[in-house]
Amino acid sequence: MKTGIHPEYSEATITCACGNVIETKSTVKDMHINTCSSCHPFYTGQATFIDTEGRVERFKKRYANVGK
């Protein structure tokens, strides 16, 4: 490995908008993010699929007889 060309890899702090703080290692010392695994709906189990216009039913009805 060549000396003097690589960024320094050291302790880093990632701070989420929800207040969660994650300690890790990176070339960037402090990072601020909007969403983390503690507040993202997919990871918290609050994710829902909303079919506001009946698109799924329309698709199923349209292609119900294809391949039969």
pLDDT bin (cut points 50, 70, 90) of residue 10 is very high
pLDDT digits (tens, 9 = 90+) for 40-68: 877 777 777 676 678 888 888 888 888 76
Angle at 47 between CA 51 and CA 59, to 5 degrees: 25
Residue with tokens 């199923």: 60
Give the C-alpha separation, 44 to 20, whole Å.
14
Tokens encoding 63: 């292609």
Q: Is pTM, for the whole model, over 0.85?
A: no
pLDDT digits (tens, 9 = 90+) for 14-35: 999 999 999 999 999 999 999 8
Tell me the three state secondary structure of residue 56.
Answer: helix
pLDDT bin (cut points 50, 70, 90) of residue 38 is confident
Provide the pLDDT for residue 28: 94
Query: Which domains, ranges and CATH numbers included, belong to the chain?
Result: 10-62 (4.10.80.400)
